[in-house]
């Protein structure tokens, strides 16, 4: 049996609550097609709720343009 732990960081003001994101991820882990692709045991996912400016900066850094 797989247990999904979801760590959600709300870095900016957003219309979505971290608890909602956690619930969606945990429920998704129970969908057969998704559960089949998760490792056995405990797995962890981290989600950062961020804004456009930070996302652009992160994309530039990832692409090596920063």
Write down the pLDDT at residue 66: 61
Q: How many domains does the chain have?
A: 1
Write down the pLDDT at residue 10: 92
Q: What angle do CA 12, 15, 21 make, to 5 degrees?
A: 85
Write down the pLDDT at residue 65: 80
Extract the residue ranges of the chain whose pLDDT is less than 70.
1, 66
* Range(s) of the domain holding residue 44: 2-63
Write down the pLDDT at residue 9: 93
pTM of the model: 0.73
């Amino acid at each position: 049996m797989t247990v999904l732990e979801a760590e959600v960081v709300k870095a900016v003001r957003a219309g979505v609550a971290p608890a909602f994101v956690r619930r969606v991820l945990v429920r998704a882990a129970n969908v057969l097609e998704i559960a089949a692709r998760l490792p056995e045991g405990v797995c962890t996912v981290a989600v950062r709720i961020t804004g456009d400016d930070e996302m652009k900066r992160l994309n530039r850094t990832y692409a090596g343009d920063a």
